[in-house]
Structure 1
Amino acid sequence: MELTEQKNDSTFCTMNDEAPTRVMGTCNSPPDITIASGGLINSITWRPMLTLASDNLSIIISIEKPPDIVSVDNRTFVNFNKANLVGFTEFTESTFNALPISTDVCVDERRFRKVIAAATARFIPAGRMAEIRPNFPAEAAVLANERDTLRHADPEDSRLRDLNSEIRRMVNHYKRTK
């Protein structure tokens, strides 16, 4: 009972599929439990195999690299959905209007690039994603980071249970819609 409650308060899932892991005469029971992270659940296969002369079955767990994992070694991602386009426009317009008029096209092109680069850095979020959690929406990742910080500060905090529930709800909704 306590194990079930702890699992339900986390983002972990059980892999057992009701197949028995111990066969003894007419008694079939699943005493072995395999638990995996919710982000890996779609990449794992779990199956018991009758291979040894024993009443305990071998459990074969296979983990495949999910096809949706993106290698992000040296890539920068730009998030246009979170861009402040109004601020970008106001900044570029005011900066362009403040620039002196020049007759040199090369100078103007350099100034143009500098203004656009400065506006992009200021108003359009970008960066390298060091860690990607497959089948884990960005909103849930933010909450998971908050939960981990909270758990590190105070493992008994009453908000942990609510955060875990909200993370689980978001992950399940994301998986259903996907």
Structure 2
Amino acid sequence: MTEALRGYSPAEVEKITREWVETMVVGLNLCPFAAPVVRDNTLRYAVTTAQEGESLVAAFLAEIELLLAADEKTVSTTLFIVPDGLQDFYDYLDHLRLFEELLEQAGLEGVLQLASFHPAYRFEGVPEDDLSHWSNRSPWPAFHIIREAEMGRALTHYANPEQIPERNIKLLRELGREGLIRRFPPFADYC
């Protein structure tokens, strides 16, 4: 991440992240399941000031508790955003594994799942400059905490969900780097 995206207030981080979700994720239909939760305003944007270690784990666990305690019609899903930590993609991946292990230890495997987003996201074995990475690139490191039951219900109404990544890669490559930056200008600061 560049210095251009450092030093934002939590409110500014949330605003820019909302713009990214609305413009890229929903606007390009990268995740066909996102539009209803955005439209219904049930996607919680949780911006943490924690950067690493125990404070970050505690903040993540607090978000899990909040999500589980909330009615699905109020808080359907949570985007846990870490604007001041985990800038290194491999540190981020270590935390993703840790958070997945914590969910498993808490008996929440099959109840909650995580989707991962990072400014430097890279799929293993894919060339560094390939635009497929942009399907998971976000302004700041983020963990999307998803209720599996809700995802299961959404999948019953979507034909061929296994084709989503392939469709996204094709679309991102067609738009090209400059087209993606025109669509969401903050990409220029970190991609």
Higher relative contact order (CA 8 A, sep 6+): 2
TM-score by length of 2: 0.21
**What TM-score, normalized to structure 1?**
0.22
Higher helix residue share: 2
Q: Which has the higher strand share?
A: 1
Q: Work out which of the two has the higher radius of gyration on C-alpha atoms and give 1 or 2.
A: 1
